[in-house]
Copies of this chain bind each other. A is one copy, B any other.
Amino acid sequence: MIENPFYTPEVQGAYHLHSLGGFDLEEGGHIPDLQMAYATYGELNEAKDNAVLIPTWFSGTHATWEQVYIGPGRALDPSRWFIVVVNQIGNGLCTSPHNADGDIAMSGFPHVRIGDDVRAQQQLAAELFGIERWALVVGGSMGAQQTYEWAVRFPERVLRAAPIAGTAQNTPHDFLFTQTLMDAITSDPGWNGGEYRSHTEVADGLRRHADIWAVLGLSTEFWKTEFWRTIELPDVTWSTFEEFQERFVRAVFLAMDPNALLSMAWKWQRGDVARHTGGDLAAALGRITAKTFVMPIDEDMFFPPRDCAAEQALVPGSELRVLPSIAGHFGLFGFEKTYLDEVDRNLGELLETPV
């Protein structure tokens, strides 16, 4: 168990832990006591038909969804919907390499699949809330991977789906991109095969990891127009792009646990709903019965709209809704009102669509 303040409620806001007990993983590993970190907003109604599930993205937690997407007057309004944000296995809040004990601590942490997360979320929802089906599953990036996995694996449990800035089947380009992120960490001698004593020993690797994110996670236009000048954080400022890179992008990732990032990255690389259909993506997406809005971000450099559109074409009755963000993939952080308004407009319309 390594102490890391980033994963405390002081930084992440309140969340609950729920133990799923022993959990067998699709790759053959086993987590003896899988703790799932989740947060809920609103109240589950008696019919249990107002439940919304939000799985989280790479390096993300429930906190961003709470701060950026959920609130009164928004599409995801807790006065109407019972919103359950479930953190990813391995994300630092759930059972993860740095907080696990025994055989599965640190370098011993087993490989986790997108499907493991979805099964864990299903078990959690059944055990805690008796939820049979979701009015909506919505997630960004790796959250979109989980959204697709839900809609393909449990079609009868998902009435509506909104994968944002992510794919059902990871692309080779994404695989290679993610590998560079991983190699940035594992090439740091401080990583030590996963057996560091503090994430700060891997600062160089985390910094290089962040630097690659700056190139692909944002967009050429974000940097060209100096959009970062409009982004504000408490207690920190920047007046050059180098300062923004140091004080925002690097600062975000330097706080995180390297093994957590590696666990999620490995999972991301292998997201693929076609595992359910012997590799046939069309057959897998053809299973989806949820009313689905596929929502790529126009400036996304590694989940480009055309990749998402090709998948959307395979989802029966689905619609393509491209979101505008000069911040590219990191548009997910909600820097722009125009982006958030468009998300809300689409999610609102989707939630009003009878199914």
Contact = CB atoms under 8 A, between A and B. Distances in A.
Interface in A132-187: 171-173, 175-177, 179-180, 183-184, 187
Interface string A197-234: 00000001000100110111011111110100000000
A146 B172 CA distance: 34
Contacts of A302: 220
Nearest to A179: B211
B180 A212 contact: yes
A188 B221 CA distance: 31
A187 B185 CA distance: 11
A108 to B, nearest CB: 25
Contacts of A220: 171, 173, 301-302, 304, 307
B224 A176 contact: no
**Taking chain A's interface residues, is the majority helix, strand, or loop, or is none over half, making it mixed?**
helix
Nearest to A215: B177
B224 A171 contact: yes
Size category of the binding interface on chain A: 35 or more
Contacts of A241: 172, 175-176
A215 B183 contact: no
Contacts of A172: 223-224, 226, 241
Contacts of A183: 208, 211
A181 to B, nearest CB: 10
Contacts of A187: 187-188, 204, 208
Nearest to A306: B221
A12 interface: no
Interface string A294-338: 000000011010110000000000000000000000000000000
19 contacts: A171-B224, A172-B226, A173-B219, A175-B241, A176-B211, A177-B215, A180-B211, A180-B212, A180-B215, A183-B208, A187-B187, A187-B188, A187-B204, A212-B212, A216-B216, A220-B301, A220-B307, A224-B307, A301-B301
Interface of A: 171-173, 175-177, 179-180, 183-184, 187-189, 204, 208, 211-212, 214-216, 218-224, 226, 241, 245, 301-302, 304, 306-307
